[in-house]
Structure 1
Amino acid sequence: MSYARPCAEPRGRPRPPARAPGWRRAARDARRCRPTKIPNADRTWHPIAKRLWDSLKESGQADFYQASDWALAYSLCEDLSFYKKSGKRSGQMLQTIYSAFERLLVAEGDRRRVRVELHEPEPEEQSAAVLAIADYKKDLGL
């Protein structure tokens, strides 16, 4: 018995999408981050939400956050604060909040899952010209 595939189903290996002229420049320009203003934490937040907010501002992935990321983080800290202050707590609500924080790559495990690794900045080394001048000065006794 033979089976005819529907016309909409691609046959063989799918073709990569066509790229518009200048796509390399657009991809390169997309890597540049726009400067963003980080909002202040709400003074009424639960201490754990405040600590999480402060740690987000200091962490390495904050260099890549845009205004929408900070807005989402602010909303999540607001939700976390409400959850921590409420008398009756729902495990489902906490799981939902933590799942949303995963999208911001807050924890190292979240970053590893998407293959993002943060490194400490490497110390700047002196250029060869500066080292050569220093050697000349030493040879001349200066």
Structure 2
Amino acid sequence: YESLARSGQSAFYEPSDWATAVLIAESISRDLKPQVVGVHPETGEPVMAAIPLKGASLAAYLKAMTALLVTEGDRRRAAVELQRVRQDPDAEREAGIAQLADYANRLTG
């Protein structure tokens, strides 16, 4: 989640995009924590264990991340190209923003 703010595409995120990212991150975090898998027969205490991520959950997370253009492949499929200039961090961000601005202009005409 925190890496999204450092990614070029985030310059065009709206509040609803950030809310989606928070929801995805929170849900993934909960799914990866130990969960109740039963009750101890003698004490009645819940038994916690890490369980594998469900395939349907993973598919939903990946679909939501695709909508946010999180991966290079997602951006390529959407014809969005971010270019990085390694020497200057400010130039890096500006190059990515310029590419996204061009993409946004093409979409809105």
Q: What's the TM-score bracket when you normalise by the shorter of the two chains?
A: 0.5 to 0.7
Please identify which structure carries the higher strand content. Answer: 2
5+ long unaligned stretches in structure 1: 1-52, 123-142
Q: Name 2:38's counterpart in structure 1.
A: none
Residues 1:93 and 2:57 are matched in the alignment: yes
**Which segments of structure 1 move beyond 2 Å, counting only runs of 4 or more?**
86-89
TM superposition score normalised by structure 1: 0.46
Please identify which structure carries the higher helix content. Answer: 2
Q: Is the 8 A contact 1:111 1:117 kept in 2?
A: yes
Query: Which residue of 57, 71, 80 maps to 1:116?
Result: 80
Q: Name 1:67's counterpart in structure 2.
A: 15
Q: Deviations over 1:13-65 (max 9, x none)?
A: xxxxxxxxxxxxxxxxxxxxxxxxxxxxxxxxxxxxxxxx1111111111111
Q: Name 2:32's counterpart in structure 1.
A: 84
Code of the aligned partner of 1:54: E
5+ long unaligned stretches in structure 2: 36-49, 85-90, 93-109
Q: Is the 8 A contact 1:76 1:100 kept in 2?
A: yes
Q: 2-side partners of 1:79 and 1:106: how far apart?
A: 17
Q: Alpha carbon RMSD of aligned pairs, Å?
A: 1.5
The sequence identity of aligned pairs, in percent, is 44
TM superposition score normalised by structure 2: 0.59
| Larger-Rg structure | 1
